[in-house]
Structure 1
Amino acid sequence: MCRFLAWTGAPRYLEELVIEQKQSLVEQSRNALIGKTPINADGFGLAWYSPERTVPCFYKDTGPAWSDANLKQIAHHTKAGLFMAHVRASTGTATSRNNCHPFGHGRWSFMHNGQAGGHDRFRQRLDAMIPEHLYTQRLGATESEAIFLIALGHGMAADPVGAMARAVGQVEGLARRHGSTPHMRFAACWSDGARLFAARYASDRYAPSLYYRHCRKGVVVSSEPLDEVAGVWTELPPGRAIELRRSEVIGHDFDPAAHAMHEAPLPV
């Protein structure tokens, strides 16, 4: 599995969350406290949005986050009002930059913690669900990247939560027919630079952990709390999504299971 965090609100330096917290993302990469994988050393990535640009900037590498000097420099000098960061523990695919999160297309970025069970058994069918006009963006081999591209094909610009739920449900359906258990474990964040979305779901009762916290100037989303302050972190329930616009939190139902039994063709 993996660990990630995201911030939306007043601009702040990436290092404040990625490095400086007691249970920062770098600390989670070598000592995660929640979940079955305490070590997340199969690569890492950052995505951040500049007010002068319409698309995010990415920095990724394949080594452990705790030993990357460039990550420390970038996080120390980069300030953003919306950013995402991810440390990876592979569930089977290769350790490569193309398999590191976050993934991006246009103004959208996406990162995921979870898996589709038996992905290696239905990779060809999964790739066939990616719309033709987006398939050139299929750079890696993870089911996470495929979910992102399938969701884009379902119209994320018009319906960011619904499009993601349909994509997750369709991939879960593939795992039910051709893969293995767990059919779907899903905690994710995605953004268009103006809004940040997060969702939590599983086909069983073991949804990957996901929390959020209101701060004075924004909201942080994280796979696990970054500190030990009691009562300030809210656990997102399975089957729910949130939409964040700086400090505003809007709740949504997130029901991929409604789509998991269908392999409807994607729109062109």
Structure 2
Amino acid sequence: MCRWLAYSGSPVRLDELLYRPANSLVLQSKHARLGAETTNGDGFGVGWYGNVPTPGLFLSTEPAWNDRNLREIAAQLESGHVFAHIRASTGSAVQKTNCHPFRHGRWLWMHNGLIAGFPAVRRELTLAVDPLLFPEIQGSTDSEILFYLAVTFGLEADPVAAVARTVGLVEEVGRRHSVVNPIQMTVATTDGETTWAFRYSSEARSRSLFHSVDLSTLRHQYPDNPALHVLSDDARLVVSEPLGDLRGAWREVPESTCIVVHGGREELRPFTPVAPATAAADGVR
């Protein structure tokens, strides 16, 4: 499927995240260790926050390992909040509008997984998107539909509740179309200050997801490791798979969990989808 990383902390050059780690995201585009596919060569994208309100995007249909422009940009660009994604298509076209992250205002979104039986449920899910948001949908992926459903359900006000309602709708629609396990996902979204990441699947066998541990602890354990001195103490990473093999550096995000990262702190919360009938009974749009 795909691999991704979400970074927050002091500004860091992009190549420190994308190229330099032993199991870097660019390396994973050829040789993913924990993904459903070894190769993730159907394009990539990088989103970052700088000095303007709207995050920047660089998207390409080239495989990440073969894009000279990515290497040039990564060697120059610094940011304290970065989303990066390498894509393995589950059937939709290889085109820039299908590359993650997706953007709406200040918000970014990226996804690893799929909506099972998407051709059968696509129309109904698309029609559930707020009509005012519909013109913003540019591509043909299930991931982008998930994003705009979440925005429809209040992502900008309460991301956890919005994603819970989105997943609940996908499962309800899928099961009405005889899809046994409608959704598989690790999702990350951010407003440039806080990152929310979700690990969930209908069959409770979700794709891998990890978060980094406190760097000050690692520096104490490994004082001679130069890689640990590039990032600040408040730096945090949420990744599809660990970027290296340093013992104790990574913790797996449990099944059916949301991790919230803000200001160098992370909080893990149970994640449960909310069915449409439940949401309606609570008086939510």
Kindly report which structure 2 residues correspond to 1:104-143, keeping only aligned pairs within 5 A, or say none. 104-143=103-142
Which residue of the partner structure matches residue 160 of structure 1?
Answer: 159
Which residue of the partner structure matches residue 271 of structure 2?
Answer: 254
Question: What percent identity do the matched residue pairs reach?
Answer: 38
Kindly report which structure 2 residues correspond to 1:221-260, keeping only aligned pairs within 5 A, or say none. 221-256=238-273, 258-259=274-275
CA contact (8 A) 1:131 1:267 kept: no
- 1:261 Cα deviation (Å)? 7.0
**Residue identity in the other structure for 2:245:** E
**Equivalent position SS for 1:199:** strand
**Tell me, which stretches of 5 or more residues in structure 2 are unaligned?**
216-232
Cα distance between partner residues in 1 of 2:280 and 2:148? 16
- 1:222 Cα deviation (Å)? 0.6
CA contact (8 A) 1:201 1:238 kept: yes
Which residue of the partner structure matches residue 213 of structure 1?
Answer: 212
Cα distance between partner residues in 1 of 2:47 and 2:139? 17
Larger Rg: 2
Which residue of the partner structure matches residue 7 of structure 1?
Answer: 7
Which residue of the partner structure matches residue 28 of structure 1?
Answer: 28
Spell out, residue by residue over 1:204-254, the C-alpha distance to the aligned partner (whole angstroms, 9 max, x if none): 032011001033331011100000011220111111111111311122221
Cα distance between partner residues in 2 of 1:205 and 1:77? 41
Spell out, residue by residue over 1:100-131, the C-alpha distance to the aligned partner (whole angstroms, 9 max, x if none): 10000000000000111110112111110110
Change in 2 beyond 3 A, CA 1:10/1:179: farther
Which residue of the partner structure matches residue 60 of structure 1?
Answer: 59
Cα distance between partner residues in 2 of 1:152 and 1:230? 38
Which residue of the partner structure matches residue 76 of structure 1?
Answer: 75
Cα distance between partner residues in 2 of 1:64 and 1:199? 26
**Residue identity in the other structure for 2:59:** K
**Equivalent position SS for 2:75:** helix
Cα distance between partner residues in 1 of 2:81 and 2:149? 24
Cα distance between partner residues in 1 of 2:14 and 2:245? 20
Cα distance between partner residues in 2 of 1:108 and 1:237? 25
- 1:263 Cα deviation (Å)? 9.0
- 1:180 Cα deviation (Å)? 2.9
**Equivalent position SS for 1:229:** coil
Cα distance between partner residues in 2 of 1:102 and 1:56? 10
- 1:63 Cα deviation (Å)? 1.4
Which residue of the partner structure matches residue 97 of structure 2?
Answer: 98
Change in 2 beyond 3 A, CA 1:89/1:263: farther
**Residue identity in the other structure for 2:52:** R
CA contact (8 A) 2:234 2:265 kept: no
Which residue of the partner structure matches residue 227 of structure 2?
Answer: none
Change in 2 beyond 3 A, CA 1:261/1:15: farther
Spell out, residue by residue over 1:79-112, the C-alpha distance to the aligned partner (whole angstroms, 9 max, x if none): 1000000000011111111111000000000000
